[in-house]
Chain A
Amino acid sequence: AQKITQTQPGMFVQEKEAVTLDCTYDTSDQSYGLFWYKQPSSGEMIFLIYQGSYDEQNATEGRYSLNFQKARKSANLVISASQLGDSAMYFCAMREGSFGNEKLTFGTGTRLTIIP
C-alpha cells in the first residue's frame, strides 16, 4: 500500500482563490511527522509546513495551513489567497523512524497552476 497518496495529479485555480491539496497517509507508528514541500519550475525543494502526529492544533505558516485529521489519516494543505507564484509541484511527505533514523516518504505530487 502507498504510504503517502496524493490523488490530484494536477489542479487549476483562479488567482486569489483558496486551494486545498489532498494528502492521505498510512502508518502504524504513533509518532510521525507530516510535511509539505513546494517545487517550482526552477527545481529546488522548499519546505512549507510541518505537522507532528501529537500536535493538537493544525499547523499554520502565513498563507499555508495544514488541515490535519488524524483519525482519517489526512493532512491536506490549504493555500489561502493564491498567487501566480504559487504555481508549482507540491509534495506531501511523511517522516517515520526515531532519532537519527528518520526518512521521508514522498507522495507523487500535485502540479498546481494558478490562472490569472
Chain B
Amino acid sequence: DTAVSQTPKYLVTQMGNDKSIKCEQNLGHDTMYWYKQDSKKFLKIMFSYNNKELIINETVPNRFSPKSPDKAHLNLHINSLELGDSAVYFCASSQVGASGRDEQYFGPGTRLTVT
C-alpha cells in the first residue's frame, strides 16, 4: 500500500535520448510535484500540479514536460537528455488538512544517470 510510487527507480541512458518517469499516489491528494535533487543533495522544485492543472513551473528547460492524466498521476518526460540532467528526481503529493497542515509525501526517487 505504497503512498507515492515512482518508476523506474534507476534509469541509465545516453545523451540525446528521451525518457519518462512515472509517478502515482494513492493518498487522494489534489496536488502533486516534481523535485530535482542534485549531486550536492540540494532539492529544488520543478513543477506542481493541482487537480491536473499546472500551477508551478520553476524555470525548467522546456525539454522537461510534465503530464497529469488524472489527479493521482504525474509523469515527467524528458527530451534530448543532457549530462547535467543526471540527478535524483522525486515526485511528491500533498493535501491541505483542516488544521492547515499540508506536509508533502515523497516517492522513493528515480536516480537518472546520463552517459
A interface residue numbers (CB < 8 A to B): 33, 35, 37, 39, 43-47, 50, 52, 54, 89, 91, 95, 99-106, 108-109
Contact B50 A101 (CB under 8 A): yes
Interface residues of B, CB < 8 Å — how many? 31
Specify which of A50, A54, A91, A103 is in contact with B45 (CB 8 Å cutoff): A103
Q: With A52-B100, A99-B96, A100-B50 in contact, do A47 and B108 touch (Cβ < 8 Å)?
A: no
B31 contacts partner chain A, Cβ-Cβ < 8 Å: yes
In the complex, which residues of chain A have a beta carbon less than 8 angstroms from the beta carbon of B103?
Answer: 35, 47, 50
In the complex, which residues of chain A have a beta carbon less than 8 angstroms from the beta carbon of B64?
Answer: none
In the complex, which residues of chain A have a beta carbon less than 8 angstroms from the beta carbon of B94?
Answer: 102
Contact B42 A108 (CB under 8 A): yes
